[in-house]
């Protein structure tokens, strides 16, 4: 039974900025990292295996050859196997095409017990691949999972974060869950894991090994298209006051009155 964790390599977004004058991206020194939410997904996959005493943690990513580094990090944490889905024709995929390609890859892998994704990737912040993946597979989905309460071979019970609190959700397995950072504390790589990661070579699947309908992959299978990018308006600091607490409090209260809050 495979505990499948889908991860993404992303640029460390705090480094990506725009030059507002030239309207261009500044990418100097931008490093690639494992999407932070995906670390919680990997950790939860490992915990399921440890708790249940069975299952194989398979980490999957779709991306260019260098995305192997993201898989390597998961192996160092303790994942059993890493698959890199990489092909020229998969490139340029939006969330629909990405989720389709992942779904086909999971079908090829077979025996999914549970599929875990991070809540969202922090480069795009769409939170769409998890639910779209579930839909392609015709599996149920549970987003924003903050706790697995109970899990068996065919059934899972979780706590899901909502806008008003939490829902307790029950679902048959296999299903797709997306996790937020409340769920666990990702472990650091162990020495053994790092040794394993050092020798790790990803299994690479391309368009000849994954059975896909070409209408749904890559750029051509992506219904959305980025037509332009630009810098957001630059926010500048306003007035700044030093002084006695009561005086400072009056500055705030006056402002709150001005903007009709009080």
Q: Which of residues 104-133 bind another protein (CB under 8 A)?
A: 122-132
Binding residues for another protein, how many (CB under 8 A)? 106
End-to-end CA distance of the chain: 59
Cα–Cα nearest to 81, from 205, 191, 179, 185: 205
Q: Among residues 70, 109, 169, 177, which is the contact residue for another protein, using CB under 8 A?
A: 169
Cβ proximity to another protein: between 110 and 230 the closer is 230
Q: Among residues 50, 107, 167, 211, which is the contact residue for another protein, using CB under 8 A?
A: 167
Cα–Cα nearest to 10, from 62, 57, 50, 58: 62
Backbone angles phi and psi of 168, in degrees to 5 = -95, 120
Query: CB 75 → another protein: shortest distance, Å?
Result: 23
Q: Among residues 91, 151, 194, 204, which is the contact residue for another protein, using CB under 8 A?
A: 91
Query: CB 191 → another protein: shortest distance, Å?
Result: 26
User: Which residue in this structure is represented by tokens 């790589």?
Assistant: 189
- Binding positions for another protein, 10-39, rule CB under 8 A: 11, 13-14, 16-19, 22-27, 30, 36-37
Tokens of residue 202, six digits? 């990803």
Query: CB 248 → another protein: shortest distance, Å?
Result: 5
Q: Among residues 58, 102, 136, 205, which is the contact residue for another protein, using CB under 8 A?
A: 136
Q: Which run of H or E residues covers position 249?
A: helix 245-258
Cα–Cα nearest to 85, from 202, 5, 205, 4: 205
Q: Which run of H or E residues covers position 83?
A: strand 81-85
41-49, 73-81, 105-113, 236-244 -> range binding another protein (CB under 8 A): 236-244
Cβ proximity to another protein: between 75 and 117 the closer is 117
Cβ proximity to another protein: between 80 and 131 the closer is 131
Could you give the string, one character per residue 213-232, with x where binding to another protein holds by CB under 8 A and - elsewhere?
-x-x--xx-xxxxxxxxxxx
**CB 44, CB 159: distance < 8 Å:** no
Cα-based angle 151, 157, 158 (whole degrees, multiple of 5): 115
Cβ proximity to another protein: between 14 and 208 the closer is 14
Tokens of residue 241, six digits? 């006051």
77-85, 106-114, 143-151, 196-204 -> range binding another protein (CB under 8 A): 143-151
**CB 157, CB 168: distance < 8 Å:** yes
Q: Among residues 50, 51, 64, 192, which is the contact residue for another protein, using CB under 8 A?
A: 64
């Amino acid at each position: 039974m495979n505990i499948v964790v889908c991860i993404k390599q992303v640029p460390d977004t705090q480094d990506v900025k725009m030059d507002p004058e030239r309207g261009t991206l500044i990418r100097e020194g931008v490093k690639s990292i494992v999407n932070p939410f995906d670390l919680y997904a990997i950790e939860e996959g490992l915990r399921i295996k440890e708790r249940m005493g069975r299952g194989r943690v398979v980490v999957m990513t779709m991306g260019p050859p260098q995305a192997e580094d993201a898989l390597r990090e998961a192996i160092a944490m303790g994942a059993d196997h890493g698959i890199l889905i990489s092909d020229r024709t998969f490139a340029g995929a939006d969330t629909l095409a990405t989720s389709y390609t992942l779904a086909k890859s999971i079908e090829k892998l077979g025996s999914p017990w549970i599929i875990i994704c991070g809540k969202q990737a922090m480069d795009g912040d769409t939170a769409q691949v998890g639910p779209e993946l579930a839909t392609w597979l015709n599996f149920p989905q549970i987003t924003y999972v903050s706790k697995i309460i109970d899990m068996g071979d065919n059934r899972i019970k979780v706590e899901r974060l909502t806008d008003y609190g939490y829902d307790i959700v029950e679902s048959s397995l296999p299903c797709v869950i997306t996790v937020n950072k409340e769920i666990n504390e990702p472990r650091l790589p162990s020495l053994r894991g790092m040794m394993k990661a050092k020798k790790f070579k990803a299994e690479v699947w391309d368009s000849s090994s994954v059975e896909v309908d070409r209408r749904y992959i890559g750029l051509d299978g992506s219904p959305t298209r980025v037509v332009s990018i630009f810098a957001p308006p630059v926010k500048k600091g306003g007035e700044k006051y030093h002084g006695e607490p009561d005086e400072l409090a009056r500055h705030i209260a006056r402002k709150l009155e001005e903007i009709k809050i009080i």
